[in-house]
Amino acid sequence: MSNQVLTINGGSSSIKFALFASGEPPHRLLAGSVERVGLSGGSDHEHAVGGLFGKLEERFGLADVGAVGHRVVHGGARYTEPQLVNPELLDELRRIIPLDPVHLPGEIELIEAFRLRLPDLPQIACFDTAFHHDMPRIAQMLPLPRRYDAAGIRRYGFHGLSYAYLMEELARIDGPAAQGRVVLAHLGAGASLAAVRGGQCLDTTMGFTPTAGLIMATRSGDLDPGLLVYMIRNEGMNADQLEELVNRRSGFSGVSEGSPDMRDLVARESGDPRAAEAIALFCYHARKWIGAMAAALGGLDTLVFAGGIGENSLEVRSRICADLGFLGVHLNEARNAANEPLISVEGSPTVVRVIRTDEESMIARSVCRLLGDRLHRS
């Protein structure tokens, strides 16, 4: 078996890939993507998979790949660790498609495409929900009749691969901090927070689906359930239309009536009150949720910003932290403006960091750890 690991990160509108040399940590050799999957001007998912294999063969070929690691958004209640793909796992993923009809069908299709073309190549499924699996029971429950809980209707949480990577990086940078009270803020087109104490996740903002919690690029975040009943009764919406509304036409895009991209909103803010309100709404909700996560932790020692917005938007970081002094959050604005890794004032009770997340590296690490000596130089 070769020592190279291929990672596949299949999203709703893109398929990202990266190639790593195995090791601890794995070393990234190259990366690429197939974009605009299922969007206007792009390819459908079946053609995108074909395009992916074309790019892989063009860039490096597949003969030297020893294993493939896949990001799988939902592992249901069963999967708590990366798993070697086998027929039983695929059957279970098909069974839980109703829990995540947006992501799972495409992810299963990618796994099956590799099985068809390279049947002897080990594939590893790495689950975004696994990081949150051991949250306290009370944080997983939804206030519904118990028969729904028995059917797997509960809060799962997502962005787990990102959170696992961030915690490993925090432990590398400052080991004691990783055992303290940590709020991780993965802020990008998809946005969520996680509360971690003693290395264990205690709560998170996303719930039964990735639509919950914070306002995002095109997702609404939390809504009054009665509003959806209102939409059904008074707007005549069906399930597909509601799904389209809360996942693709809301968030920054809906509030700004323009762009789902925070960079565009910041650039337009001074002359467009709709863009300004979209930014203000996001920062307000992020600030509230940080307070809620700190309450779940019993205090706050470290706040970590990650994701496209968290890593790059100094304006958003500054506005989110502006009224968090009661939690010991005090930004050094010069460090923040310079995008330094440590952006809090020296001696602040709460340390604020910026850590670039890397889901692909986390997938590669998981594959190397699971397969161990089976990955070696040919």
Which H or E run includes 108?
helix 104-117
Active site residue 222: no
How does DSSP assign 6-31, residue by residue? EEEEE-SSEEEEEEEE-SSS-EEEEE
**Alpha-carbon span 73 to 91, nearest angstrom:** 16
CA dihedral in degrees (79, 84, 90, 92; nearest 10)?
-20
Residue 14 contacts residue 34 (beta carbons within 8 Å): yes
Residues whose CB falls within 8 Å of the CB of residue 323, separated by 6 or more in sequence, listed in order? 287
* Mode of pairing for the β-strands spanning 65-72 and 4-10: parallel
Active-site residue identified among 91, 120, 128, 203? 128
Task: Kindly compute the dihedral angle of the four CA atoms of residues 210, 213, 214, 219, in this order, to the nearest 10 degrees.
Answer: 40
Please state, in angstroms and as integers, the Cα–Cα distance from residue 91 to each residue in 73, 88, 104, 110, following that order.
Answer: 16, 5, 12, 15
Residue 142 token pair:
């939804």
3-state secondary structure of 230: helix
Quick check: 22 and 3 in contact, CB under 8 A?
A: yes
Q: Which sequence positions are flagged as catalytic?
A: 128
